[in-house]
Amino acid sequence: MYKNRIEIIKKHLEVNNSQTTNNKDEVLEKELFNSIDTNINVGELKLLIDSVEESKYKDETREFIRNHPKFKENFIGLDMATYRQLVLEQCAAIANRGLIHFTDIKNNLHRYIGALEMFALYNNNILTKLSVQYTLFGGPIIFLGTSRHEKYIEDANTLKTMGCFAMTEIGHGSNVRGIETTAHYDKQTKEFIIHSPTPTSEKFWIGCAYLHATYAVVFANLIIDGTNYGIHAFIVPLRCPKSGAIMKGITIKDCGHKLGLNGIDNGQIRFDQVRIPRENLLNKYSDVSEDGVYKSQFNTPIKNFAATMSPFIVGRMAITKGCSGAAKTSLSIAIEFSHIRKQFGPSSNKELPLITLSSQQRRLMAPLARTILFDLYIQRLTNELCQEKLPASIHAHCSGIKAVYSWFCVAALQTCREACGGQGYRSANRIAEFKNDCDIICTYEGDNTVLMQQLAKYLLGVKQKQTNTTTNRIYLDGEDAKSLFFNFSNINQLFETREEMRLAELKQIIDNSKESAYFAFNNAIPWAVKLGFAHMTKIVFQNSINTLKLKNVKPLTHLIMLDALVSIEEDLGWFVSNHLISPNVAQSIPFLIQDLCFEVTKVSKQIIASFDIPENCKPSSKDLISDLF
């Protein structure tokens, strides 16, 4: 049964390789041999990028951002206290308008995810604050709680009460099973005693904890009569709901000024024998009776732990939307600026816009293409998360896209900053703010390197359950490089072959190791990360092709091919040394990329117009310059 399911998922993900091409491919590929069609239907492209499922919610959120007075206030250069208060008021305005709901992560994920992306166009502090409330605090209550916890929903939905997510400790982050906080059950009083037994067990980086959270979902070791039943989640009051005073036995400190996200009140929490009712255990999967008998749906602590962690893949999708919003706004700023700012030219008395420079085109068109293709893949994952029965691949792929998108986003924002020269360095021009705020995405909601290891382990597991199948090896060589590369089947074979070889390489390194299983994999982590990149590149490409065949919205064909060639160039040495691309043909790739960047540049204004970014999310390109006079 499991094998069949994996095969179905695999076939669903893959482009059919039984033929080298088909008529529809040929029609689409022919577009690449001609000048790009500059007659772009911006509305059609906007709907493709927004997705049919999320378009309505995104437009509602755009109008709210454009018109609400709290989103017209300047936040650049605010001191931390003022900034934190402004972000709180902005989130309260969102809640009061009803743009998102506490139960959306379960009942209407498209509305929730779509709205978050729009707020990320404006400021990632707002996305982060909302994610803490609705995903990290709300998620455990919705997915791990039962009817006895529904009492928290109404006030939390309107932000009358706020919550936080107390998992990370000073001594433990990614290794959640190693956290030290304890929850001893007292049979006499029918209470759990939440305690931080060591300095390293204090909760740290807890968003919204320092100022605004009334409750915390605390992850701790559930202990009864000396027996540790593993990590469980508990609702712990941090402050009195009426007075706001911090509860007895709880110490909260400010984590202080950070590189970015200084509108978020991250806190450090220490628990000193804090008593909570037995009913505060989130008990969907396991519970403790009044007389101290532990019951679980699972026969081992590790299976219970896996079930406890399973809802948080939605959080990874929410955070990934922060990358999407920041990248779109920053790319729009940089591209608009490049169309107006002039320098140099064919003669001393004539200057040309920066966008006419091939270097500027290469800088900005490649990340523009990848941003759109990543977004199309996130649409696919969001649809999968809405299914009643989740695909076996969903956790691995949510981990993978979060890692590759956030790494890409940080690099793209730096590119945008440099593309605008000194103006990109000004905080008022927003790119620098996005840069600082997005840097943390690479390590929160899962360290990217750890997430790529999770993806690699999943791929190794799938491989073990499959019969031996290999993609036909391809070798690209010849005089007509354009025909070789402007071929979806050839590109797909390159990506599939690379993944298979990376997977075989990783497996061989592990199998040949004389170390224990743990150390054998630990010593192979660099190869695991490379496998993760190879897999994500393949499935993003395949998803893009499948989307194109369903909806040939211009200029999607050019964007797909541009990103594919950039991906090949990023690992070109590997493709050549492994005899998949000839050295002669490899030399043509930078020129093909340059040609595609030139073509995409012609429609770059229409592409960023399709993002429909509210005006108050960015400076206008004219203000970027005229504001200086």
pLDDT digits (tens, 9 = 90+) for 318-364: 899 999 999 999 999 999 999 999 888 787 778 899 999 999 999 99
Q: What confidence tier does 626 reach under pLDDT thresholds 50, 70, 90?
A: low
The string of DSSP codes covering 237-254 is E-B-TTT-PBPTTEEEEE
Q: What confidence tier does 601 reach under pLDDT thresholds 50, 70, 90?
A: very high
Q: What confidence tier does 5 reach under pLDDT thresholds 50, 70, 90?
A: very low
- Tell how far CA 454 is from the center of its chain: 15
* 52-87 confidence digits (pLDDT tens): 999 999 999 999 999 999 999 999 999 999 999 999
Tokens of residue 496, six digits: 């599939």
* 105-138 confidence digits (pLDDT tens): 999 999 999 999 999 999 999 999 999 999 999 9
Question: What are the C-alpha distances in Å from 302 to residues 91, 139, 185, 454?
Answer: 36, 20, 20, 16
Beta strands in 261-326 (DSSP E): 267-271, 274-277, 286-288, 294-296
pLDDT given for residue 23 in this prediction: 66
Q: Domains of the chain (ranges plus CATH)? A: 2-13+21-53+313-617 (1.20.140.10), 55-157 (1.10.540), 163-312 (2.40.110.10)
Place of tokens 């091919």: 561
- Which residue has better confidence, 24 or 498? 498
> Is 422 marked as a binding-site residue?
no
The fraction of the chain above a pLDDT of 70, given in percent, is 94
Tokens of residue 223, six digits: 């202990």
Task: Indicate if 351 belongs to the active site.
Answer: no
Tokens of residue 22, six digits: 């088909």
Tokens of residue 202, six digits: 């204090």
Q: Which residues, 6 or more positions from 469, have their beta carbon under 8 angstroms from its beta carbon? A: none
Quick check: helix, strand or coil at residue 126?
Answer: helix
Instruction: Give burial (CB, 10 Å; 0-12/13-18/19+) of 277.
Output: middle
CB 334 within 8 A of CB 419: yes
Other C-beta atoms lying within 10 Å of the C-beta of residue 454: 19
d(CA 555, CA 546): 15
d(CA 144, CA 191): 19
pLDDT given for residue 445 in this prediction: 87
> Is 207 marked as a binding-site residue?
yes
Report whether the peptide linkage leading into residue 555 is cis, meaning its omega lies within 30 degrees of zero. yes
* 12-49 confidence digits (pLDDT tens): 334 333 333 456 677 778 888 889 999 999 999 999 99
Average confidence score pLDDT of the chain: 92
Measured over the CA atoms of residue 282, residue 283, residue 286 and residue 288, the dihedral's sign is positive
CB 518 within 8 A of CB 547: no
3-state helix, strand, coil in the chain (%, to 5): 60, 10, 30
Nearest CA to 45 out of 564, 601, 608 is that of: 608
Beta strands in 169-285 (DSSP E): 182-186, 191-195, 203-206, 215-224, 227-237, 250-254, 267-271, 274-277
Other C-beta atoms lying within 10 Å of the C-beta of residue 216: 28
Longest dimension (CA), the chain: 89
Residue 2 has pLDDT above 60, yes or no: no
pLDDT given for residue 17 in this prediction: 39
* 282-309 confidence digits (pLDDT tens): 999 999 999 999 999 998 888 888 888 8
* 245-266 confidence digits (pLDDT tens): 999 999 999 999 999 999 999 9
Place of tokens 């509210």: 614
Residue 576 has pLDDT above 80, yes or no: yes
| pTM recorded for the entire structure | 0.93
CB 485 within 8 A of CB 460: no
- Tell how far CA 129 is from the center of its chain: 16
The residue type at 288: V
d(CA 275, CA 263): 31
pLDDT given for residue 24 in this prediction: 65
- Name the CA dihedral angle for 579, 581, 586, 592, rounded to a multiple of 10 degrees: -160
Quick check: helix, strand or coil at residue 343?
Answer: strand
Helical residues (DSSP H) of 341-387, grouped into ranges? 358-385
d(CA 293, CA 438): 45
Quick check: helix, strand or coil at residue 350?
Answer: strand
Place of tokens 């202080």: 256
Q: What confidence tier does 8 reach under pLDDT thresholds 50, 70, 90?
A: very low
d(CA 539, CA 397): 9
* 189-224 confidence digits (pLDDT tens): 999 999 999 999 999 999 999 999 999 999 999 999
d(CA 559, CA 554): 9
Place of tokens 């939905």: 157
**Of these residues, 117, 169, 180, 445, which one is catalytic?**
445
Q: Which residues, 6 or more positions from 606, have their beta carbon under 8 angstroms from its beta carbon? A: 38, 40, 42, 45
d(CA 368, CA 355): 14
- Tell how far CA 201 is from the center of its chain: 28
Quick check: helix, strand or coil at residue 220?
Answer: strand
pLDDT given for residue 16 in this prediction: 38
Least confident of 149-153, 339-343, 372-376, 620-624: 620-624
